[in-house]
Structures are given as structure tokens and as C-alpha cells.
Amino acid sequence: MGIIVSMSNIDTRTATVLFFWGCPPMGALLICARKRSYMPSKDSKTPGKDDANVVKFNAKDEKQAVKVKNRPGITVSKIVTYVILALLAIVMVFGVFPSFGSRGSSSNIEFGSYDGTPIEFSYGNYFYRQYQRQAQQNKATGDTAAYQIWRGAFESTVFQTAMSKKAGDAGIRVVGETLNKAIIDSGVYNKDGKFDIATYEKASMESKNQVKVQYEESLPVQMVMDDVTSVLSAPAELDYIVQMGDTARSFEYAIFDSSVYPDDLARQYAQANMALFTLIDVSVISLADEATAQSVRASIESGSTTFEDAAKANSRDSFAAEGGRAGTWYLYELQGNFSVPEEVNILYSTAVGQISQVFAAPNGYVLYRVEQAPFLADFEDAEVLADVKAYIGTRDAQVVTAYLEGKAQEFAVIAALAMDFAAAAEEAGVQTVSVEATPVNVGGSNYLAGFAYTDMGGYLNAVANDTEAMKTLYTTPVGEVAAPLAANNAFIVAKVTGESAMDTDMSDYLKLVYPYMAQSQSQQDLIQSIFTSEKLKDNFLITFMENIMGVGASN
């Protein structure tokens, strides 16, 4: 196991900016709940409309493997993207391109600034041309596509502005001879594969000026990019990476999580917190805005429509197709779907068959109908106890920490003497995960594989950036059991099952692609430095909503 080389190593922003700027990246070689066995028989598992942007009914807390790939990127931008897409779901769009009237119009839209220079959309400017270019590439329609096109044009303009400033600071200027050569070499005036003076002379002055401006803008940026990507790496750097790959280790580990917490202790916890584990059977209608929710509620109350028909026609969650039937939920599960968590108590006091008031949810508004009055879960039921343990493990982990650590330490002693690690784990009642040979990769380098790619359980990946944990795993002698490690609200006991060097083919491949990967990394570093700089004032979100989508702050 050695390196990971793929387009996944190039973050979304880098690929988008470079693609629409004209420079290919280097190195480019609602959640349906798990239904419970004691639910009313008319529950269904068929999903309805797939729109988790309004209200999420989160399924019971379950252990999930951590499989986040270590790749560079600006995650803030991605988070903002998800937020805006959720907001866009409530907007009725009649047009997503601002009207400028004639060419002489002075209408401009400022989305922010970089180092004092406005990032501005106006007729014919760089932002305008990037918008047109991305709109031609993205043929999709609707709110999501509109956001992606505008955001892409904005980021390309930020990049162009920042790079132009860098070129200016470096004293880079485009002389006439260089500009003319670039235009000729572009082929825009070619005929039969060669520059044709007649074709050039036939072109309009406006067309010629557009081409001229394009290359005046792009050439200085290209020069800066060439300088960045032409930086050579030292041979010792590659040797060091290969050496890291030569110490790949394989593991087998046992997991001590909340599922091994004793039933009697879990039962005591549940009985001390019975309100959290009180169940209620409900149907739901999820809507985007309060006015619509109130209108739908009034229609149901007046008898002009049924709850089921209203859900099928209006609800935006995964239960719509079932007429809103959502099934049985614990109180703690439903709390997360209330903007004011305490309001869940109002729902729990609603009479069977009644329609609740309109409740604000994190991403919309919800109507409930109570199908069965609240009732206590059966704390003798194995599935219920599993739910209780899962709750403790994810939301109140300190309750089980000492117990799990003690059990892990006991097992480590037993496993160290056992001939068969997996058999010892089975006897202890815990699960094991096998991990193929993986080099130590604390920094999350793209040049080497990491636990994100090899650890299907996710527990080693969770501590992959923990220097002490990695030191423990990679200094414990092969064949021996390492000291317990805390990971993901659990404890793991790992055995080092082997150590291997990078094979010759992989080593040769790494040496071949490393220069290209290093250039790609340089590009990513440059772009990230621009978008994380304090020089960037990013007002895209509010400007897009108000000026493009027509959703004002007061709306």
C-alpha cells in the first residue's frame, strides 16, 4: 500500500477555479428512521419526496465508521454551499440573470472585495464573462444550478483579481509583442490551421477588443501560475516520502464501545431518564414557511382536505408519499426537530388524532398528528436497551468511559497472551476490524495512503492525526498488542499483525507521478491562500439572495 493518486486529491474549489480560468489541474491523471419492531402495523418504510432541506428526522444514533478522506480544501465554502442550497429550496425563481437594460447601463452588483478591489458584476466585465462561460458549461436549470453558476463566477473573479495583484506586485507587464504572439497562437484567427490576416481583418472591432482584453487579463496570471508550478522539489523530499511508505503496518483491533455496557446499568440509566426514552407515534407534514404551514393546518381543520392528502401534496420530507406517517420516535429524537427543544413537550401533550400547532424546525415548519399517546419503552427489550446504549455512547459518553476503559485494559492483557486475537475478542463479546498495511501519515499527506482508505471501522482513522496514538501503533513490536486507545467515544485494543515495505512497482510509480502531484499541491496551496486570506471580503451569500434571487433581508 503506498500512494493515492486521483482527482479526489484536488478539492472542488481548485478544480472549478482552474477549469474555468482555463488551466487544467496538474496531476490529473430526509433520513428515514429505522422502524422499530413494536411500531403500529400501518407504518411503512417507503420513502417519499427526497428533500431534507426543510426538516430532518434523524434516525436513532448508530455507530458509523469515520471515513473522511484527508484531502486539502476550504470546507467553510462547502458548508456555506449546503446552507444556501437549503435556503434556495424555499424560493420561487422567475429569472436568475439581472436586467441591465442597454450596454450603457450603470447597474452593478458588488459581491465583495479582494484587497480593496471590488468583486463586481457589471456588463461586459470579467465577472460577467465568467458568468456566461459557466452558464454555457452548466446546462442545468433551477435554484441549485443558479447558485453554482454564480458562485463559480464569483470565485473565478476573486482568483483573477488576486493573481493580477500578485502579477502587478511582481512587476509583470504584458508587452505588445507578447500579447500579439499569444493572440496569434490562440488560433482564434486561424484558417486551415494557420493565422489568417484576412480572417483577422474581417473581425469586428468589438470582437478584436474582447480577445485583446482576455489575453491582457490572463497572461500575467499565467506567468504567476507558471512560476508557482515550476518550483522544483528536492530529491530528498521524494526519498523521505518513499521511506515513509516503507514502514506500512497492518492491524487488527477490538472495539469497546457503549454496546458492551451492561444491560442492567443501561436499564438503570434509562429509568433515571425516562422522559428521554418516552415514545410517541406521529404523522408529520414538513413545510418551508410558516404561512404555508398555517394555511395547510387550516385546510385540514376545516375539513377541506385530509391530513394524508395534505402531506402528499405539500410535505417536503421523506414521509410524504405515505401520507405523512412517520412512525414511533423517542422524545430525544424528536427534540432535534424543534427550533425550541422544550416545545416537544407541547406535542407530547397533544391529544390522539389532533393536529398540533405549527412548530418551527431548524430548516422549516412542521405539523404533527398524534397517532398514539406517549408510552414508556420496554426496558427489558433488547432493541430498546441497544437504543439506550447508543444514546449514552453518543450523547452522554462520560457515563461509560471508565467502564469501557477498564474492559479494554482487561482485554489487552488477555489478548497479549492469546494465540488467536479474533477468538479472544469473540469470547469477550466485542467486534474486531482488520486493517491492511498502512503507512504512518499523521499530516494527512496526499502522497501516501492513510487510514481513511484502509480502516473500514473508522476508529484508527479517528486518531490518525494524534501523534501519541500513532507513536504507540508504529513502535509496538510486530505481533504484539498495543495499549488501549481512546477513539470515537470508545476504546480500541489493536494488535500489530505485520509490517511491509512499498513494492517496487508502487515506488517507481510514485517517483513518476510525484513531480505532477507536487505541482498540483502548489496550485491548491496558492488557491487556498487566496480564499482564506483576510484580504477577501466575501459577501456573496447575502448579495446573491437579495440581488439575484430577490429575497431581501426583510422578506
pLDDT at 103 over 60: no
Q: How confident is the model at residue 12 (pLDDT cuts 50, 70, 90)?
A: low
3-state secondary structure 139-186: CCCCHHHHHHHHHHHHHHHHHHHHHHHHHHHCCCCCCHHHHHHHHHHH
Question: Which has the minimum average pLDDT: 49-63, 103-117, 325-339, 532-546?
Answer: 49-63
Task: Report pLDDT digits (tens) over 112-128.
Answer: 999 999 999 999 899 99
| Spatial contact of 278 and 374, defined as CB atoms under 8 Å apart | yes
Q: What are the sequence ranges of the domains in the chain? A: 8-29+72-231+519-548, 242-260+395-502, 275-383
| Spatial contact of 310 and 299, defined as CB atoms under 8 Å apart | yes
CATH of 242-260+395-502, one of 3.10.50, 2.20.28, 3.30.70, 1.10.3210: 3.10.50
Question: Which has the minimum average pLDDT: 100-109, 172-181, 241-250, 455-464?
Answer: 100-109
368, 313, 328: which is closest to 45 by C-alpha? Answer: 328
Q: Tell me whether domains 242-260+395-502 and 275-383 share a fold.
A: yes
pLDDT at 363 over 90: no
Q: How confident is the model at residue 481 (pLDDT cuts 50, 70, 90)?
A: very high
| pLDDT on residue 85 | 46
> What whole-number distance in Å separates Cα of residue 439 and Cα of residue 433?
17
Q: How confident is the model at residue 131 (pLDDT cuts 50, 70, 90)?
A: very high
* CATH tag, 275-383: 3.10.50.40
% of the chain exceeding 90 in pLDDT = 52
pLDDT at 355 over 90: yes
449, 452, 445: which is closest to 518 by C-alpha? Answer: 445
Instruction: Write the single-letter amino acid at 34.
Output: R
| Top-ranked range on mean pLDDT: pick from 181-195, 454-468, 495-509 | 454-468
Number of neighbours of residue 352 by Cβ within 10 angstroms: 12
| pLDDT on residue 22 | 52
| pLDDT on residue 231 | 66
**Roughly how many angstroms between the first and final C-alpha of the chain, as a whole number?**
55
| pLDDT on residue 9 | 44
| pLDDT on residue 425 | 97
pLDDT at 314 over 70: yes
More confident residue, 220 or 320: 320
| pLDDT on residue 239 | 75
Q: Buried (b) or exposed (e) across 108-118, using 16+ Cβ within 10 A?
A: ebebbbbeeeb
pLDDT at 233 over 90: no
| pLDDT on residue 11 | 58
| pLDDT on residue 269 | 97
Burial of 421 by CB count in 10 Å (0-12 exposed, 13-18 middle, 19+ buried)? Answer: buried
| pLDDT on residue 15 | 56
As a whole number of angstroms, the longest Cα–Cα distance in the chain is 91
> What whole-number distance in Å separates Cα of residue 369 and Cα of residue 282?
6
> What whole-number distance in Å separates Cα of residue 69 and Cα of residue 520?
17
| pLDDT on residue 251 | 98
pLDDT at 105 over 50: no
| pLDDT on residue 219 | 86
- Opening angle at CA 51, ends 48 and 52, nearest 5: 115
Mean pLDDT (the chain, rounded): 82
Q: Which long-range contacts (CB under 8 A, 24 or more apart) does 235-238 make?
A: 238/510, 238/511, 238/514
> What whole-number distance in Å separates Cα of residue 186 and Cα of residue 214?
11
Task: Report pLDDT digits (tens) over 520-539.
Answer: 878 888 889 999 999 999 99
Task: Report pLDDT digits (tens) over 24-80.
Answer: 444 333 333 333 433 333 343 333 344 444 445 554 444 344 333 343 444 444 444
Q: How confident is the model at residue 443 (pLDDT cuts 50, 70, 90)?
A: confident
| Spatial contact of 182 and 210, defined as CB atoms under 8 Å apart | no
pLDDT at 332 over 80: yes
Look at the chain and count its residues.
Answer: 555
57, 31, 34, 64: which is closest to 489 by C-alpha? Answer: 64
| pLDDT on residue 21 | 52
| pLDDT on residue 30 | 34
Number of neighbours of residue 413 by Cβ within 10 angstroms: 11
| pLDDT on residue 187 | 87
| pLDDT on residue 222 | 84
Task: Report pLDDT digits (tens) over 452-479.
Answer: 989 999 999 999 999 999 999 999 999 9
pLDDT at 347 over 50: yes
| pLDDT on residue 49 | 42
% of the chain exceeding 70 in pLDDT = 79
> What whole-number distance in Å separates Cα of residue 520 and Cα of residue 441?
19
pLDDT at 100 over 80: no
**What does the pLDDT average to over 203-221?**
84
